Structure 1
Amino acid sequence: MTLRGTNQESGRPFNRRIVLESIRLHGPTTRGEIADRVGLTVQTVSTIVRELEDHGLVLSVRAKPKGRGIPPSALTINPEGGLSVGIHLTPIGIEAALINLRGDVVESRQHPALNATPDEAFALIGEMVRDLKASPLKGRLLGAGMALPGPFDVASMSFVGPTTMTGWKNVDIRQRLADSTGLPAFIENDMAAAALGEQLYGLGQRFSDYYYLFFSVGLGGAMMHEGVVMRGAWGNAGEIGHIAAVPDGEPCHCGNRGCLERYLSLDAFKRCGLSEADWVTRIAPIFRNAVRTIENLFDPETIVLGGLAPQSLIEQLATLADGLNNSISARNDRTAPRVMVASDCQRSALRGAAALAVFGVLSPRFGQMFETSEKGTA
């Protein structure tokens, strides 16, 4: 993953995130190593590190001597420096968890909730978060992040049909989340959150350009480029579930026919009534076409397959890559399979949602953590 800071004055919150990520990925590490890695001056890195240390997010440890002189202190992430609440809302249920700065799920709660209304969902979320706050494992809470199905702000597709949160139009989701949790609140579509979670805590540490294919109640995805989600003009890039897969095929709730997620999603699997193995055999051509389309559009190092589907189903789908035909990804110099199973399929979105809160509080726009250090600083 490529981590590069910015020397622009407005980039200070971004630089905090980059420095924190460099420490998490490469710690124990020194200030000089961080500066070389992210393209900032040692002075800038030292100032940011001092802020992060003051707030308990990183720890300074003395390295073992390797020769004469006192070795420089090394920096490592403080996993107990703060916890965030990750929440994953789907048409079939809600999961909430306390997640530390290392990405470990400290404690979690799950609640089935079929097509929950906003009032029902936020009542449950409030109850689950109060329960997590009462946990003896609870430390300092930084914020709450929530992942939920997209796309967002598309009149004919957002919150329409069984693969989305039907009936959630015109809901101030961020404010409702803040009210129900009592924490700084952040939201993201679940496919981008899953890609972020995988990038931070899973296979993303090995790849800088990969596509996360999010197999959930619906189907979506996100392209990670140099460690950053490719957003698109309105933040919905990667919504492949509504690519036309079958001419004049099944009607979709978006108003078109033959959309990919009508055939390739948990909703499609449950409607067909087949066993996992039989269903995978049936949809193999459609899955392979989808993979080739993604490869030709985005040229990823690999496609990471994850989501809410059972692990056994995800793994069976991944085996279909053995029968893939030609695309621009069919290279002789490949070092990774064309399709890989995510490191934490069912919880990538949950962990990515929690990371939203961690990154959010590094910015003075969303909290008071760094307010004092921002005043009068360049």
Structure 2
Amino acid sequence: MAKDHIDAVEALRANTAVPFEQARAMPPEVYTSPDFMQKELDQVFAKDWFCVGRADSLKNPGDYATAKLAGQPVMVIRDRDGNLQAMSNVCLHRMSTLLHGKGNTRSIVCPYHAWTYNLDGSLRGAPAMTLNEGFCKDQYKLPKVRCEEWLGWVFITLNIDAPPVAEQLSQVEELIRGYDMTNYTEAFYEEHVWDTNWKVLAENFMESYHLPVCHAGTIGGLSKLEDMVCPPGLPAFNYHTILKEESLRIAMAHPNNTRLQGDERRTTYLLAIYPSLLITLTPGYFWYLSLHPVAPGKVHIRFGGGMSNDFKDDPDAQQNFDALKTLLDDVNVEDRGCTEKVFNGLSSGMAEPGHLSHLERPNYDFAQYLMARIDANS
């Protein structure tokens, strides 16, 4: 077994053995070790549910999205009956990947030899195969992958024994019931790769302690540390809340929304659903990141967002959201700079983790989750 793997696991075990009041940031080895990342792929991403995005972005038959989950290429596609299906994205002939990115297709055609599959994964046709006496078209069907929808989100897992998403996240649903998260429509979706570790970006989302400094050019001036609340996390997620200024109208509850009362009408939830779905949920809009490691120093990012349908009939809603998207893009530039600097720093020989602020409670809970997953599956 590689030394850095032993060091990283044992370093994290020591790091998570102390109470939050004495806690430090996770040790550098946890971010830089290739063996530890493989451990995460095998014992976290291959075992838990992974979010590929919003269901409303896959609303028509043939709409699809692809992902590479813990090394397995997967496609999620809306079939002719209107159901979402997930299956292997690998051809059953010479094993090319089939679909790429997101889009719409009438059938699944291999880009190598044009073996063609129906939207349910059954083989429709294969050219020039009639002389092979062992070939039988009916024996070919793309293997299924578990797929579930929850509050408008689409999740997949390679683990046949994983508890249902709704069961794992029932406490999230109760927490944000008044926001009616199903009632949001995705307006944009992008994919990026940044030069940082996936956990650095996840942790960056989990705390708003950095907002006044990292985001001084955008939202920092509106971010009051005294208005941030960071409760202890729960087994499947952590969260914190901030109060938005009422000047940002589309972050407030719409006048038609009678579900939210008092300060709830301007409260933003920052939900970190393990392992890597990060949702900023306001009464008026949402945006999210879904992260997957590529290498210790590279993370693949699914970035999307949209508006609450409460605002769909407001004449200025789109204009306000366009302005918000411009702001989010600027915030992302700042986050990329900050998180890539963090990875550069923790990769150095003199890096030492410091004590956590009370505003970084979610980071502590995230470390506890990782250690529990790695221990449970070892």
Q: TM-score range by the shorter chain?
A: under 0.3
**Larger strand share, 1 or 2:** 2
More contact order relative to length (CA 8 Å, sep ≥ 6): 2
TM-score normalised per structure 2: 0.28
